[in-house]
Amino acid sequence: MNRWSTIFIVLSLMLVSCGKTNDSKSTAKEDLAAKNMLQGIWVDDDTEIPLMRIKGDTIYYADPQNAPVSFKIIRDTIYINGNTPIAYKIDKHNHYSFWFHSMTEEVVKLHRSENPEDSLAFANQIEVIPTITEVVKKDSIVMYKNIRYRGYVYINPSKMRVTKTTYSEEGMSVDNVYYDNIIHICVYEGKKLLYGKDIKKQMFADLFSSDFLDQAVLADMKFMGVNNKGYHYQAILNIPETYISGIVNLTIGSDNKLIMKKLER
């Protein structure tokens, strides 16, 4: 796991507070000459590994899991318009060198590539990471007051994209893209269908902040039991490759209605 994954929300909040200084950005004129000077492939000074390719107003990263992002240069700052907007202070910028301060106050030092083979590092299309690769089926059977209940859960991979901001070892903000899941649940009371519906993370929009929900995937659905209130599940949402998660208690009553309540921890 990337060592920045577990603290990226704290950094994101820092970025939000820093983003309030963008009033000057909205009124200042973009430095098109500086942007044109950045066109091409840029290589890390220390490792000699290609890091980014700049074409037009877009930055492409060598890692295929990192989504391309647009950017602007205004005065001595480069503004990256990714999933979490961020600004880097530029230390040095000419035709051959590009140095800037990362989130960790480390100076990232790049130089222009002069090796045609470096372009091969950017040949791959963006790689979207599936959280599961095939349908996961789970079922549960329980007797309650001499009535047989049975519930089915189908965790289905989807093509719905979730973009999560992470940070490289240099402290650079990068966006990884994942596929979300759709979970179908159906519950029977004897032979009577109590409930059958697809569950998507958007259904929990009133329970979680948009910052969390935008970067989370619907990861799992766990059967918790049956009582006089109904048939109980727990929906698990988490942010990929982190320990950050949210849990929602779902109750399916005999009236065929779904009640959702966030588990406070």
The CATH number linked to 55 is 2.40.128
83 with 143, same domain?
no
Tens digits of per-residue pLDDT, 35-94?
Answer: 999 999 999 999 999 999 999 999 999 988 889 999 999 999 999 998 888 999 999 999
Residue 167 C-alpha from the chain's centroid: 12
Residue 171, Cβ density class (10 Å: 0-12 exposed, 13-18 middle, ≥19 buried) = middle
Domain boundary among 107, 122, 137: 122
158 with 232, same domain?
yes
Per the CB < 8 A criterion, the answer to whether 79 and 72 are in contact is yes
135 with 230, same domain?
yes
Tens digits of per-residue pLDDT, 144-201?
Answer: 999 999 999 999 999 999 998 887 776 788 899 999 999 999 999 988 998 999 999 9
Neighbours of 115 (CB within 10 A): 11
235 with 112, same domain?
no
- The mean pLDDT value for 93-103 works out to 92
Distance CA 51, CA 124 (A): 14
109 with 206, same domain?
no
Torsion of Cα atoms, 186 then 189 then 194 then 199, to 10°: -20
- Least Cα distance to 152 among 143, 142, 140 occurs for 140
Domain boundary among 78, 94, 122: 122
Distance CA 82, CA 37 (A): 21
Handedness of CA 30, 49, 240, 198 (dihedral sign): positive
Please indicate whether residue 95 or residue 25 has the higher confidence score (pLDDT): 95
Per the CB < 8 A criterion, the answer to whether 152 and 185 are in contact is yes
Q: For residue 3, is pLDDT > 60?
A: no
Domain boundary among 122, 137, 154: 122
- Least Cα distance to 138 among 185, 76, 75, 190 occurs for 185
Torsion of Cα atoms, 142 then 143 then 144 then 147, to 10°: 120
Distance CA 97, CA 91 (A): 10
Residue 178, Cβ density class (10 Å: 0-12 exposed, 13-18 middle, ≥19 buried) = buried
Query: How high is the pLDDT of residue 26?
Result: 54
Residue 153 CA: distances (Å) to CA of 58, 157, 202, 235, 253: 42, 13, 18, 11, 17
Please indicate whether residue 251 or residue 103 has the higher confidence score (pLDDT): 251
Least confident of 11-20, 150-159, 166-175, 256-265: 11-20
Number of domains in the chain: 2
Q: For residue 112, is pLDDT > 70?
A: yes
Q: What is the DSSP letter of 213?
A: H
Structural domain for 148, as ranges: 129-262
146 with 217, same domain?
yes
Tens digits of per-residue pLDDT, 187-200?
Answer: 999 889 989 999 99
Query: How high is the pLDDT of residue 33?
Result: 94
Q: How confident is the model at residue 8 (pLDDT cuts 50, 70, 90)?
A: very low
73 with 156, same domain?
no
Distance CA 78, CA 87 (A): 6
118 with 133, same domain?
no
Query: How high is the pLDDT of residue 103?
Result: 80
Chain mean pLDDT for the chain: 86
What pTM was estimated for this model as a whole?
Answer: 0.74
